[in-house]
Amino acid sequence: MNKLKLNRSSFLLGLALCGMSFAAIWAQAAPGIGTVLTAEEQKSLSANASVQVGARQFKIFSEEKVVSATGGATAAKNAQSASGAVLDPVTTVVNEQGLVGKSRNEVLISNISTADAKTKISAYLSQAISVKYYDHMNITALRFATFGEAAQAQAELQVLLTGAKVTLPIGFSVRTPR
């Protein structure tokens, strides 16, 4: 009987320690998309890189880069990992109001035919890790290894492609099925 009580209390103690460990891990995790950071949390990002997109300024919270086997950012089309899976660079950013968002480092070009876009963006094709053309919708999508590269390309393409809509989408909410 004593042994049973000891085993039960050991089990409960172990379970409590596990719960505290999970709580500590959860507290250290990055904030979710759509979360508004406190003023103190925003101050802690002051050393992080800052990127200008149009009239807005974003702090980079975390960035998953496409890295080649040699350690440098890769510029290969449709970069793939050793397992063959396509790599998907994602950047978590924070806007001036402290709202957390996510970018896939993708520049979208619309309102111009893909044939015209192909000829005018040729200088950017070597910098992009992926280029997709959606002829039926007149949309061209360029993916970049980093958010900074995507922001720079978006600003330059906006000037180069007059009449086209050039955007760098950043999501600040997560879609949930109903």
Residue 73 pLDDT: 45
- The answer to whether position 112 is within a domain reads yes
Domain match, 93 and 127 both: yes
- The answer to whether position 114 is within a domain reads yes
Q: CB–CB of 28/95 below 8 Å? A: no
Domain match, 96 and 161 both: yes
Domain match, 122 and 166 both: yes
Q: Which residue has the higher pLDDT, 27 or 151?
A: 151
Reply yes or no on whether the pLDDT at 178 is more than 70.
yes
- The answer to whether position 77 is within a domain reads yes
Q: CB–CB of 152/123 below 8 Å? A: no
- The answer to whether position 178 is within a domain reads no
Checking DSSP bridges between strand 139-143 and strand 106-110, what pairing results, if any?
A: antiparallel
Domain match, 46 and 119 both: yes
User: 113 is in which domain, residue-wise?
Assistant: 31-173
Domain match, 100 and 18 both: no
Domain match, 167 and 125 both: yes
Q: What is the pLDDT of residues 46-65, one digit of tens each?
A: 888 889 898 899 999 888 76
Bridge partners (DSSP) of residue 109 are 140, 166
